């Protein structure tokens, strides 16, 4: 089971002897599906080499805030934005004290200051240093600021003493990193997500479809599941791995999607219509492959039912979220669509932006609800999905 699938983790290694364990930790994080980048403090380089961490992470290791080449592109801000989670392991007594005072005078502390990502600290130090009240006070400050603390473990230490202060085992650290994403914001709720394209068959071998990859819908299903929801994904044909913990129903046509949705919708609290549903289907589907001839061929198309507005129009409708791809006047057309379809929230994007939206890994959307709006800037769909799910849960809690 890939506990860190699609997660971008920044590992900050500080000056503790336990730093020698970090190449193994990085390897295991990658085994769990994480993309890992590493920042070393200068004290950490006494215990582990940048080259070892570069080899196991597959990424350049950064150490210096004043690295002219990297900082030409505002490297520390870029890293702060890139990270889905920041893990400080091992965190030395000195580093914990420094961070608790709000220092931002080296690369790693500047990144922590600039990032909104959840942060996990895994302390590792001599047992007397761990027991010292300075350490406890500093960790209290950091906990209050939202840092999560993992460990330390008890046992024999590099200094020959026995007690609390060992870096936690890699498996425990990985469990704790994974739990950073489990916000519980949708706990006990049932969420249905539609994703991908639909296929409207003309004959047994030909169909009408669109460019949707399903990536956004799958990322939303995964993010809702991580937020504690019981998720059902109704998916058109895609090449994607089903998200772990999510129940998936595969369909092909818009009609099949509509009937899967209507079968399960009675149980649902939040419906997210992310699929690119075909607006039309051929009126007649030929039983046999249509033969080529020299004359023209006309297809008569009839409209498909709008699944989203059907759900929004139900008595006891769930909270409904739709998507809108527009080429101009984003707010006006998105709000029009929201009203026309009767949905609670709409995530809209401009489709003429280079490489954004259909079939790409990144997306940028503006979310509209009631009289409010929120911009989720260009970012990987996995990251955007987590933010959108947080926003949906906030608005839903106000209007359950």
Given its phi and psi angles, is residue 245 left (phi above 0), alpha (psi -120 to 50 degrees) or beta? left
SS3 130: helix
Residue 391 vs residues 134, 175, 179, 347, 372: alpha-carbon distances, Å: 38, 25, 19, 11, 12
Is 274 tagged catalytic? Answer: no
In contact, 321 and 270? CB cutoff 8 Å? yes
CB of 261 to ligand C5P, least distance (A): 8
What does the per-residue mask of binding to ligand C5P show for 254-293, with x meaning CB under 6 A? x------------------xxx-x-x--------------
CB of 384 to ligand C5P, least distance (A): 16
| CA–CA dist 397, 400 (Å, integer) | 5
Which residue is catalytic, options 9, 148, 150, 159?
Answer: 159
CB of 121 to ligand C5P, least distance (A): 40
The token pair at 327 is 């080429």
Among residues 150 and 347, whose Cβ is nearest to ligand C5P? 347
CB of 308 to ligand C5P, least distance (A): 3
Among residues 204 and 303, whose Cβ is nearest to ligand C5P? 303
Residue keyed to tokens 């607006």 = 279
Kindly indicate which of the ranges 165-173, 202-210, 227-235, 317-325 contains the residues binding ligand C5P, using the contact rule CB under 6 A. 317-325
CB of 395 to ligand C5P, least distance (A): 16
CB of 341 to ligand C5P, least distance (A): 6
The token pair at 272 is 């997210």
The token pair at 229 is 């929801």
- Residue 35 interacts with ligand C5P (CB under 6 A)? no
Among residues 87 and 308, whose Cβ is nearest to ligand C5P? 308
In contact, 9 and 29? CB cutoff 8 Å? yes
Residue 361: CA count within 13 A, CB half-sphere: 2
- Closest among 203, 319, 222 to 270, alpha carbons compared: 319
DSSP 184-195: -TTTT-EEEEEE
| CA–CA dist 393, 28 (Å, integer) | 32
CB of 33 to ligand C5P, least distance (A): 28
Q: Residues for the chain: how many in total?
A: 400
Residues near 113 by Cβ (< 8 Å), separated by ≥ 6?
A: 102, 104
Among residues 296 and 327, whose Cβ is nearest to ligand C5P? 327
- Residue 75 interacts with ligand C5P (CB under 6 A)? no
Residues 320-359 that bind ligand C5P (CB under 6 A): 322-324, 337
Kindly indicate which of the ranges 51-59, 80-88, 142-150, 306-314 contains the residues binding ligand C5P, using the contact rule CB under 6 A. 306-314
Residues 165-194 that bind ligand C5P (CB under 6 A): 194
Among residues 107 and 308, whose Cβ is nearest to ligand C5P? 308
Among residues 222 and 337, whose Cβ is nearest to ligand C5P? 337
Helix (H) or strand (E) holding 137: helix 133-144
Q: What is the DSSP letter of 241?
A: P
Residues 212-241 that bind ligand C5P (CB under 6 A): none
- Residue 308 interacts with ligand C5P (CB under 6 A)? yes
Among residues 39 and 348, whose Cβ is nearest to ligand C5P? 348
The token pair at 11 is 């590992």
Binders of ligand C5P: how many residues, by CB under 6 A? 15
Burial 379-392 (b: 16+ CB within 10 A, else e): bbbbbbbbbbbebb
CB of 266 to ligand C5P, least distance (A): 17
**Backbone torsions φ then ψ of 189, nearest 5 degrees:** -100, 150
Judged by CB under 6 A, which of 35, 226, 306, 344 binds ligand C5P?
A: 306
Among residues 11 and 334, whose Cβ is nearest to ligand C5P? 334
What does the per-residue mask of binding to ligand C5P show for 286-305, with x meaning CB under 6 A? ------------------x-
Interacting residue ranges for ligand C5P, rule: CB under 6 A: 194, 254, 273-275, 277, 279, 304, 306-308, 322-324, 337
Task: Give the catalytic positions in this structure.
Answer: 159
């Amino acid at each position: 089971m890939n506990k860190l699938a699609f997660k971008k983790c920044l590992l900050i290694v500080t000056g503790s002897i336990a730093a020698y364990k970090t190449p193994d930790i990085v390897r295991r994080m990658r085994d769990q599906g994480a993309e890992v980048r590493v920042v070393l403090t200068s004290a950490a380089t006494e215990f582990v080499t940048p080259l070892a961490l570069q080899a196991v992470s597959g990424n350049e290791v950064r150490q210096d805030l004043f690295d002219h080449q990297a900082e030409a592109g505002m490297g520390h801000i870029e890293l702060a934005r890139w990270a889905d989670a920041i893990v400080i392991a091992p965190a030395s007594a000195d580093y914990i004290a420094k961070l608790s005072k709000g220092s931002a005078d080296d690369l790693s502390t500047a990144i922590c200051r600039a990032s909104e990502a959840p942060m996990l600290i895994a302390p590792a130090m001599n047992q007397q240093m761990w027991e010292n009240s300075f350490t406890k006070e500093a960790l209290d400050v950091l906990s209050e600021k939202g840092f999560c603390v993992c460990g330390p473990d008890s046992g024999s230490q590099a200094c020959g003493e026995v007690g609390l202060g060992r870096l936690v085992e890699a498996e425990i650290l990985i469990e704790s990193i994974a739990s950073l994403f489990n916000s519980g914001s949708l706990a006990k709720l049932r969420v249905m997500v539609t994703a991908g394209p639909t296929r409207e068959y003309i004959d047994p071998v030909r169909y009408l479809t669109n460019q949707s990859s399903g990536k956004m819908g799958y990322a939303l299903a995964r993010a809702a599941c991580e937020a504690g929801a019981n998720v059902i994904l109704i998916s058109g044909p895609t090449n994607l791995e089903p998200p772990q913990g999510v129940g998936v129903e595969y369909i092909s046509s818009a009609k099949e999607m509509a009937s899967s949705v209507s079968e399960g919708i009675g149980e649902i609290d939040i419906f997210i219509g992310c699929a690119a549903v075909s607006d039309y289907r051929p009126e007649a589907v030929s039983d046999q492959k249509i033969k080529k001839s020299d004359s023209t061929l006309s297809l008569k198309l009839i409209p498909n039912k709008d699944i989203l507005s059907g759900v929004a129009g139900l008595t006891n409708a769930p909270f409904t979220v739709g998507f809108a791809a527009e080429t101009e006047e984003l707010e006006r057309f998105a709000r029009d669509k929201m009203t026309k379809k009767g949905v609670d929230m709409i995530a809209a994007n401009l489709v003429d932006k280079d490489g954004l939206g259909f079939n790409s890994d990144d997306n940028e959307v503006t979310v509209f609800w009631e009289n409010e709006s929120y911009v989720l800037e260009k970012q990987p769909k996995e990251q955007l999905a987590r933010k959108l799910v947080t926003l949906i849960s906030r608005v839903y809690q106000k209007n359950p």
